Structure 1
Amino acid sequence: MLLESEFLNVWISGEISNLVKATSGHWYFSLKDNKAQIKGAMFRGNNRNVRAQVENGTQVLVRGRLSLYEPRGDYQLIVELMEPAGEGLLKQEFEALKNNLLQMGLFDQSSKQAIPVEPKRVGLVTSPTGAAVHDILTVLQRRSPQTEVIIYPTMVQGKQAADNIMWAINTANVRKEVDVLIVGRGGGSLEDLWCFNDEGLAHTIFNSAIPIISAVGHEVDVSISDFVADLRAPTPSAAAEIVSTDNSELVTKVRNLHSRLIRAYAHQHQANKNQQNQLKRSLALLHPSYQLQLAQQKNDELQIALHRAMTQTLKNAKQREHLCRERLNGLSPKHELTAAKQRMAYASSSLPKLMQSIIANNNRKFVSMAEKLNIVSPLATLTRGYSITTNEQGNVISDSKQVKKGEVVNIRLANGELNAKITDR
């Protein structure tokens, strides 16, 4: 109980010996080095996940918990994870560096730069003789042959590889001749790819002013460079596809732009045509002939209005004449004379002088009324030289257009009438 409660997670590196793979699927073995050994057991559910070939003499790194096998009184290690020794240690270093850089903020998405959509010049930081450069150039030649490529040759494996890669990235940043960098190589073991897990390289990638795409190994391979880079590509070929635009897409884009240009030209042409028609209409409204037509129309309207006004004035005059005649009849002296005669007959016997006075007053009134009547009488107008002209139908002529050449008209004067024949108008 003390062993199992105190040693729950133990890492041990050693050499496999006395390996027995039971028919049940469980493994039983000893782990030893030049100083000590310990028995171990790895049950079927855990050893299924071991990818390496395990046999006597294999150096491994295992993780497990201590336990006691009571029938023999032996303490042993119940192994839960087994990896080749070198790879296992490297993975531990990888996880430690990854956690450290994560705490430093080198993986933050807010720090990552955008990858150009259609870069004109692409830089490759890789081995000039490796498979990665061949794959990238093949993809770029097929998809986007117009894209320029600059190779910054470097080692991608070995102790000096990380320094070489950092030098190449710094050189590209100094020259400033590419829009984006692809840093990577083809696949390999964890040891082969270990240079991309260098802390100095991680800081160099993070501080690069040029956007960097990490394309290290195959899709299942993950390196520190993948986490720090602005974008991770699963393979070098995929990185080439990211930075290139397929020519077929460009052709489609050009065709779409051509169609848009044709539509825009047609739209602009129609707009210009509409504007031209509008200007023509505006010019027609300003043309002298149109203005003359408007003036003629306005003149005709004024003539019509004048004729209506004259006709209405003459009509009003006739109405006033009729009213005056009625008033004149109402004020006729004969009514006063009849009354005067009656009064005179009544008072003739006793008031002969009064009668004479009344007659004299009535005579004066008569004369005054006659003068007033003469003033408003149309006949008085005729005495001043005016005349009234009528046609054969008796209609008053007020416009020369109402008669024709050769027509006989009647001219009424103050004294008498004249018949005249129209010889000219």
Structure 2
Amino acid sequence: MNFSDADGLRGGSSSPDGVLTVSQLNRQVARLLESGFPRVWVCGEVSNFTRAASGHWYFSIKDESAAVRAVMFRGRAQAVGFVPQPGERFEFRVQVSLYEPRGDYQVQVEALRRAGRGDLHEAFLRLRDRLAAEGLIDPARRRPLAPMPRAVGVVTSLAAAALRDVLSVMARRAPHVRVVVYPAPVQGREAAAQLCDALALAIARAEVDTLLLVRGGGSLEDLWSFNDEALARAIAASPIPVVSGVGHETDFTIADFVADLRAPTPTAAAELCCDSHAACEDRLRGALGALAVAQRRLLDRGAMRLDKAAAQLVSPAQRLRLQGQRLTAATQRLHAALAHRMESRAARLAAVHGRLEALDPRGVLGRGYAIVRGPSGAIVKNALDLNIGERIDVEFGTGRAQADIVRTDA
């Protein structure tokens, strides 16, 4: 099959005289490489490594006598779990392709593993994926560290350089924080189990607020204890927040994924586990300043209430004087009321007296009338009630007289 035939089979086209453009040539070569060359594993060193802002990795894979350009796109690069370093040797699973704009032959890397350690790396990836499926690697599960812990625990070997680094950093940055060491080997066949025991001891004693799980750098085999499933589950289940500081910045272990915080080195773990003494002093000064301001405001409000209450207080003499003034005013109001009431009643009495005087018979007699009483003393109102010869008594306005009846007329 020539290029023109291949292009035609794949829906391409060329000029009528059979001459290809450069783009057509590169496209046909790319399709031939992608369809005719199987995916293969290639062993070589990383060279000219670049991590683009897009997240893609661009580098070369080389051996003693040759090199090939390589690209690993962001989605696959994020699944690796570590960043390859120039000079490191890996096994790469690649798809052969062509970068058409420049006609450069290259490979697209789909996966990589450390050369000679493919089985370990595959086991690492399988465990990581299984724990991720259970949610143990979910960032939302991670708990924040106590910014001012009372004590920090360190799970590591007593002979490890990592322990000296941690103790040095803690003595310099946070001498006020107590450090408790839970010793365990960090390398070897029994190391993972003993790390689990040390972690369990720290949890049972409950004497620290943060745990550091640390060791220095090493090969994949050296760090393999920190890829143990039982240790990973113990870290995830720990009620005490765990900081993992294993190896160098480019080393990743399963412990890093399940810990509450991953530090790139043991030294960084010590720096991240708590605030420095200076930072604590700054925070304390800030808190004291805020407390002083709040106290001042409280005292000012109390003083205002006291002034208001004091303004309402009077001395006994002043209180008596005020009460005397109120009594005088009340007495004056009472006298005025009584005088008004007496005047009113006197006027009413005078009016009644006037009406009584108007009805007094003696007043009528004074105008020339008389009152006639019969022999029995009863007032005579009708002359026919008298008999001839009876003696009557006549009362005038002034004086009295008696008379005998000699005649009566109706």
Q: Same fold (TM over 0.5)?
A: yes
Measure the CA separation in 1 of the matches of 2:364 and 2:273: 126
Which shifted more, 307-316 or 207-216?
Answer: 307-316
Amino acid at match of 1:299: L
- The Cα of 1:201 is off from its aligned counterpart by 2.1
Q: Does 1:301 align with 2:326?
A: no
CA 1:13–1:158 in structure 2 vs 1: closer, same or farther (change >3 Å)?
farther
Q: Does 1:214 align with 2:244?
A: yes
Counterpart in the other structure of 2:389: none
- The Cα of 1:224 is off from its aligned counterpart by 0.6
- The Cα of 1:145 is off from its aligned counterpart by 0.4
The SS at the match of 2:314 is: helix
Structure 1 contact 62–80 (Cα < 8 Å) conserved: no
Measure the CA separation in 2 of the matches of 1:261 and 1:153: 42
- The Cα of 1:306 is off from its aligned counterpart by 4.0
Q: Does 1:169 align with 2:199?
A: yes
Counterpart in the other structure of 1:253: 283
Structure 2 contact 42–94 (Cα < 8 Å) conserved: no
Higher-Rg member (1/2): 1
- Deviation digits for residues 240-264 of structure 1 (CA, Å, limit 9, x no counterpart): 2232222222222332333344445
Measure the CA separation in 1 of the matches of 2:289 and 2:364: 105
Mapping for residues 19-418 of structure 1, pairs under 5 Å: 43-46=68-71, 53=87, 61-65=91-95, 80-81=108-109, 84-109=114-139, 112-267=142-297, 269-270=299-300, 273=303, 284=314, 287=316, 289-290=317-318, 292-309=320-337, 311-312=339-340, 316=344, 363=397
Amino acid at match of 1:303: T
Structure 1 contact 126–154 (Cα < 8 Å) conserved: yes
Structure 2 contact 244–263 (Cα < 8 Å) conserved: yes
- Give the structure-1-normalised TM-score: 0.56
Structure 1 contact 123–151 (Cα < 8 Å) conserved: yes
Structure 1 contact 185–236 (Cα < 8 Å) conserved: yes
CA 1:88–1:53 in structure 2 vs 1: closer, same or farther (change >3 Å)?
farther
- Give the structure-2-normalised TM-score: 0.58
Relative to its length, the structure with more helix (as a share) is 1
- The Cα of 1:225 is off from its aligned counterpart by 0.5
Q: How many residues align?
A: 318
Structure 2 contact 215–246 (Cα < 8 Å) conserved: yes
- The Cα of 1:182 is off from its aligned counterpart by 0.4
Measure the CA separation in 2 of the matches of 1:153 and 1:317: 112
Task: Indicate the RMSD between aligned Cα atoms, in angstroms.
Answer: 5.0
Amino acid at match of 1:200: A
- The Cα of 1:226 is off from its aligned counterpart by 0.9
Which consecutive unaligned segments of at least 5 residues does structure 2 have?
Answer: 1-30, 46-58, 78-83, 98-105, 370-393, 400-410
CA 1:281–1:13 in structure 2 vs 1: closer, same or farther (change >3 Å)?
closer
